[in-house]
Amino acid sequence: MDKSVHLSLQHINFSVGGLSILNDVSFEVFQGELFALIGPNGAGKTSALNCVSGIYHSTGGQILYGGLDITGARAHEVAEAGIARTFQHAELFRHMTVLDNLLVGRHVKIRGGILSNGFFWGTTMREEIEHRKKVEEVIDFLELGRHRKRRASDLPYGIQKIVGLGRALATEPRILLLDEPSAGMNRQEKEDLARFMLRIKHEMGMTMIWVEHDMQLVGDLADRVVVLNFGTRIAEGKPEDVLSDPLVIQSYLGTKSESI
């Protein structure tokens, strides 16, 4: 794993209507790292991803992507720069097929204008062929071939989550933000997800920032972990160290009451 910093959050604050969601949160993610962001419900994990991806704009601090300041960038600008994300819920176009949902992910790569895209010839034809080729590669990678012509609404929820992952991969990102990708999956689907994540890491060399509640998955897969609690970073380090930290255990389980 390359030890160069790929993404850096520096003293990030985020508040809504006077309610503080993130409080002076800082961490660095290295090139090619599988970096887990964990914490109890309401800890600010998804808000941190939203600040990186441009859905939210932080109210203080700085976000650096490979040295480029993307603080305050719009979501489409972040996507075009090479950062893609999945969502807690699949957020697919339910009436569209798997193939078409993944093609939507290619919109950040489309270079033709309205006029040229109205005619299927020349540059437009070559571009369309290339987009379909990339999508078919993602379908093969995620073993979605048998589902490619099925509507998203007809798929099991766990498969919908994999399609959401595929749509993010179709943008050819350099950083992948994963927001609770295993939520709603059964054990077999989680094992498939883990296998895909390891392949993304080792075969694509992609940096991943991963919000997760399944601590077994985190312990098995993550290179490093940061823990948030009430919007504040309370721990950082290797999974085996962080998951045994008394403060982390307390934040998840609460303080044990003394028996009377």
What pLDDT does 1 receive?
61
Q: What mean pLDDT is predicted for residues 80-91?
A: 92
What pLDDT does 2 receive?
66
- Encode 135-158 in three state secondary structure: HHHHHHHCCCHHHCCCEHHHCCHH
Helix runs in the chain, H state only? 45-53, 75-81, 98-104, 114-117, 122-141, 157-169, 187-204, 215-221, 239-242, 246-253
CATH 3.40.50.300 fits 1-75+175-181+209-255, yes or no: yes
Separation CA 105–CA 172 (nearest Å): 9
Q: Is pLDDT above 90 for 123?
A: no
Per-residue model confidence as pLDDT tens digits over 231-252 = 999 999 999 999 999 999 998 8
- DSSP character at residue 105: G
Per-residue model confidence as pLDDT tens digits over 92-106 = 999 999 999 999 998
Residue among 166, 190, 188 nearest 180 (CA): 190
Percent of the chain with pLDDT over 70: 90
Q: Is pLDDT above 90 for 253?
A: no
Cα R_g (the chain), whole angstroms: 19
Q: Mutual orientation of helices 122-141 and 157-169 as an angle, nearest 10°?
A: 130
Q: Is residue 37 within 8 Å of 10, Cβ to Cβ? A: no
Q: Is pLDDT above 80 for 185?
A: yes
Q: Which CATH architecture has domain 83-172?
A: 3-Layer(aba) Sandwich (3.40)
State how beta strands 34-38 and 19-30 pair.
unpaired
What pLDDT does 259 receive?
32
Examine domains 1-75+175-181+209-255 and 83-172 and report if their fold is the same.
Answer: yes
Domain range annotation of the chain: 1-75+175-181+209-255, 83-172
Estimate to the nearest angstrom the gap between the alpha carbon of 18 and the chain centroid: 27
Q: Is pLDDT above 60 for 117?
A: no
Q: What mean pLDDT is predicted for residues 54-59?
A: 95
What pLDDT does 156 receive?
94
